[in-house]
Structure formats: structure tokens, C-alpha cells
Amino acid sequence: MKTTLHTLQQMAAKGDRIATLTCYDASFAALLETAGVDILLVGDSLGMTLQGSETTLGVTLDHMVYHTRCVASGARKAFIIADLPFGSYQESSQQALRSATQLMAAGAHMVKLEGGQPMAETVAFLTARGIPVCGHIGLTPQSVHQLGGYRVQGRGDAAAERLLQDTRALQQAGAGLLVLEAMPSTVGKEISTKTAIPTIGIGAGPDCAGQVLVLHDILGIYPGKTPKFAKNFMPGAGSIQAAVQTFVQEVKSGAFPAPEHCF
Ligand code: KIV
């Protein structure tokens, strides 16, 4: 049976954790969903993992459309989220609609965009037109230069309160899922318990409705520095399939993330 946004919302309501990995091609799409991954995120992290850049800023809408089409060709069951890349949605809601339309036509079931309150109007515009939207707050990699690097966000009461305000704004705008990246576990928990939106954490602690990691990090094949919240599942696994299955099992059981992966 196909995984839909409704399925994911029901899973979150029941406390069944959602296992998510980034995915950029058809072969991995088939392998990951066979291993039990619920959501395939066609992330603009492909700027780093596939293109060798230091940031996601050079990824274009054409790149994202291409990889979304590849993933959609290999997937039969998993829910597919595609990232709106830098510069493809910030100008206006109309620009976001044009870009999101291309990703949905390529096979995405939902688009993801970065930012909180300032993006709420765009999220409302897209969802009102039948395009499901996943928000992304905390460490938003497209703002790396404004943030002064890949730093943990939401430290201190004022910063944590801003993230809660972002969450409220995105919920009111109709966001269907919310990625929480690199924030103290206490903040990830507070957001996850206070919002009706299922949260997918990456470095946001164990209390999110699901967890996401970058595929290349769980396979230990990213040549650059990997973040504290990532875990290489390959040692001792014997195969890629087995490593992915262990990732899924650890997310579902709550064994991942362990304290050493949290802030
Ligand atoms: O592009 C990506 O891989 C992402 C994850 C880090 C959540 O957005």
C-alpha cells in the first residue's frame, strides 16, 4: 500500500516513528523502500553528496526536477518529498507555485521549503492550491552564510521561542510535515509536543515523530566532515540493505538518535 500524507499523520498520532532518508536516484529509491523507509527526501543536500559543493546554494530547480523524476521512477510505495532549491521560491508565492508545480509534475508528493514566519504566506498559498508543504526550521542550510555556518539553532529562551513562533505560523499556514534541524533536544521535544504537525528531526532529539538522515552519512561514504547528529550504519552491517534496515529499526524503536547524536 502506498504511503500518503494521511498515513504519515496517522503514524505520528499512534506514536509509530517515521523513518526518512535522503534519496537521489531510482536504484536507491527501490532499495530504501524495500528496507522499510517511509519517506524518501529528494534533498538539496545533493549539492554536497552528488555535486561535491560545500553548500546547497548551487542546486537549481532543473537539478531537483531531474533527481525527483529519477526517485519517482524507482519508488512504488514510499512518500516522496522534494526540496525547493535556493532561489526558486523566496521571491514570491507565485514563483514558489511555479517551482513546486514542476517538482510535483516530476513525481513529488510534497515539497519542502526552508524558513518559518516569513514563509507562512507562501506555505498557505501552496497548500490552498493543493500542494502539500513540509516546513524546515532550525538550521536551514540555504541560509548558511546568514547563520554564520552550520550551527545549532534555538539555544537560549529567546531563540527557542522564535522557533515555537515559526512552528505556530507554519501550522496555521497548513504545513503538513515539519523538519527540525540541529537544535537542543529540549526544544525539539517542546515543538513536537506543542504542534499538531508531525515533526521529522535531524539533530533535534529523540522526541520527534520521525527522524531523517542523509543517505551518504548512514553509509559512511560522504568524504567531508559529518555532523554530530549523523550515524554511520555500515560497520558490521554486511550490506547496504542491512545497514538501511538497521537505521529503520533503530528509528522505529527509538534507539536512534542516542544521546551522542543530540544537542
Ligand atoms: O537536503 C536535505 O538533505 C535536507 C535534510 C538535511 C533534512 O533538507
pLDDT tens, residue by residue, 29-86: 999 999 999 999 999 999 999 999 999 999 999 999 999 999 999 999 999 999 999 9
Average pLDDT of the segment spanning 180-190: 98
Ligand 1 proximity of 140 Cβ (cutoff 6 Å): no
- Atom 1 of ligand 1, nearest CA residue: 43
Average pLDDT of the segment spanning 144-162: 97
181 included as an active-site residue: yes
What domain range is 44 assigned to? 5-261
pTM, to two decimals:
0.98
Query: What confidence score (pLDDT) does residue 234 get?
Result: 98
Angle at 170 between CA 162 and CA 65, to 5 degrees: 120
The grid coordinates of residue 32 equal: 530504501
Query: What confidence score (pLDDT) does residue 16 get?
Result: 98
The CA R_g of the chain, rounded to the nearest whole Å, is 17
Atom of ligand 1 nearest to the CA of 214: 3
The CATH number linked to 157 is: 3.20.20.60
* Segment 233-255, tens digit of pLDDT: 999 999 999 999 999 999 999 99
Query: What confidence score (pLDDT) does residue 65 get?
Result: 99
In sequence order, the β-bridge partners of residue 134 are 112, 177
State percent of the chain over pLDDT 90.
99
Split into its structural domains, the chain has a count of 1
Instruction: Specify the 3-state DSSP secondary structure of 111.
Output: strand
Active-site entry in 181, 190, 250, 260: 181
What does the mean pLDDT of the chain come to?
A: 98
Query: 212, 222, 226: which to mutate for ligand 1, most atoms within 8 A of CB?
Result: 212
Ligand 1 proximity of 202 Cβ (cutoff 6 Å): yes
Tell me the C-alpha distance between 178 and 162, whole Å. 15
Ligand 1 proximity of 44 Cβ (cutoff 6 Å): yes
